[in-house]
Amino acid sequence: MIARVTVFCILLAAAAALIGFALAGAWQLGVLAAGLGGLWIVARRKGWGGTASPLLLGFLVLAALGVTLPGGAIWAPLCLVAGLAAWDLDRFAGRLRGVGPRPAAAEGGGAAPDETHDLTRRHLWRLGVVSGLGLVLSWAGQAIHFKLELTVMLLLGFVAILGLSRAVQSLVRESD
C-alpha cells in the first residue's frame, strides 16, 4: 500500500510540473520534471539509497521556478506537496523495511504486515492532514494579496526565521 501511494505521489508531482510547465511553454523544464519522476521510481525499484532527498530538492526547485509562471500558483504547490509526501513515504517504507533482521529461511524482509497496519494507517492519516492543510494554505497564500511595508515584512520574516530556528534548536538539544 505504501509503495502504491508513494508512486502515486511521485507521478502526481511529476505530472503537475510537466503539465504546468507545458502550459506555460517551458517544455524543457517539464521534461526535466518527468525525468526526475521517472528516476525516482526507478531508484525505488532498484533500491538505490539516498536518492529521495536530492530528488525532492529537484522538485522543490522546479516548484519555486514554476510558481511565478502563469498557472503556477495552482500546480507548483501541488508539485511541492506531492514531492514532500513521496519523500516522507519513501523514508517510512525504508524504516519498515529496515526492521529485522529476519531469518534467512523466511522470504523477504521487514516488519510483519499485520503488526504495522495500524502504524501505516495512522502515518498516512497524519501525512494526509499535513499535506492537505499545507496545500490549502499555500493555495490560499497564492490567492490572497495584500501590501505590507518593507520594514514590517522584513520584521515578520526575521521573526518567522528566528522562531523556527529557536524551536528546531531546542528540539535538537532535548533530543541529544
Partner 1 sequence: MSVGRLFLLAGVTYTLLLIGLASLNGALVALTLPLIVYLGAALIYAPDAPHLRVARTLSADRILPGASVEVRLAVHNESAHLEEVLLEDFIPRPLTLLDGQTSKIVLLPPGKTLELAYTVAGPRGRYQFQSVRVTAADHLGLFRRQALLPAPGSFIILPEAPRMRQVAIRPLRTRASAGLIPARIAGSGVNFFGVREYQYGDSLRWVNWHATARHPRRIFTNEFEQERIADVGLVLDARQRHDLWVGDDSLFEHAVRATASLADTFLRDSNRVALLTYGAGLNWVFPGYGHLQRERILQALARAQTGESDIFETLDYLPTRLFPAHSQIVLVSPLCKEDLGTLVRLRAHGYELLVISPDPIAFESVGLPPNGKHVATATRLARLERTLLLRRLRQAGVQIVDWSVDKPLDQAVLVSLGRVPKWARPVR
Contact residues toward partner 1 (CB under 8 A) are 53, 56-57, 60, 63-64, 67-68, 72-73, 76-77, 80-81, 84, 88, 91-92, 95-96, 99-103, 111-112, 115-116, 118-119, 122-123, 126-127, 129-131, 133-135, 137-138, 140-142, 145, 153-154, 157, 160-161, 164-165, 167-168, 171-172, 175-176
Closest contact distance (angstroms) between CB of 25 and partner 1 is: 18
Query: Between residues 46 and 145, which has the closer beta carbon with respect to partner 1?
Result: 145
Contact criterion met (CB below 8 Å) for 69 and 57: no
C-alpha cell, 33: 520534471
Alpha helices in 67-149 (DSSP H): 72-97, 113-143
Contact criterion met (CB below 8 Å) for 86 and 57: no
Q: In whole angstroms, how far apart are CA 103 and each of 86, 91, 109, 111?
A: 30, 23, 9, 12
Query: Between residues 4 and 145, which has the closer beta carbon with respect to partner 1?
Result: 145
Closest contact distance (angstroms) between CB of 18 and partner 1 is: 18
